[in-house]
Amino acid sequence: QVQLVESGGGLVQAGGSLRLSCAASERTFNNFYMGWFRQAPGKERDLVAVINWSGARTTYADSVKGRFTISADIAKNTVYLQMNSLKPDDTALYYCAGRSTYSSDPTAYTYWGQGTQVTVSS
């Protein structure tokens, strides 16, 4: 069964950093585009960043550009999201997702992890 498992969330003060990890259960995902999305209470699920496994293509939401970095380690079947200079507005449930072609639309993604909570205190 294909699975994506996120980890690394937690509680951090504003200005702090966290690194999220997304482990894929199969190498099938090696040909996929992998995205990080987030959803705050009462809000829609939004794009944070997308990457292909070679790292040749990345996309970031304007709100995280310059603060967050997405990366992929093919050998470990793992995608990372390094989050620096965190703000209270970054508080959300963060999800990892995968699909076979590029998209920034969360509704286009087929495979999802269970999510990891990020809470940024002011």
38-83 pLDDT, tens digit per residue, is: 999 999 999 999 998 888 899 999 999 999 999 999 889 899 999 9
Position 28 pLDDT exceeds 70 = no
The DSSP letter of residue 29 is G
Instruction: Give the pLDDT of residue 53.
Output: 81
Token pair, residue 105, equals 């639309």
- The Cα-based distances of 36 to 25, 61, 104 in angstroms read 17, 10, 10
DSSP letters for 34-101: EEEEEE-TTS--EEEEEEETTSS-EEE-TTTTTTEEEEEEGGGTEEEEEE-S--GGG-EEEEEEEESS
The more confident residue out of 37 and 74 is: 37
Task: State the average pLDDT over residues 109-119.
Answer: 95
Share of the chain above pLDDT 70, in %: 96
Token pair, residue 36, equals 């990080």
Share of the chain above pLDDT 90, in %: 80
- The overall average pLDDT reported for the chain is 93
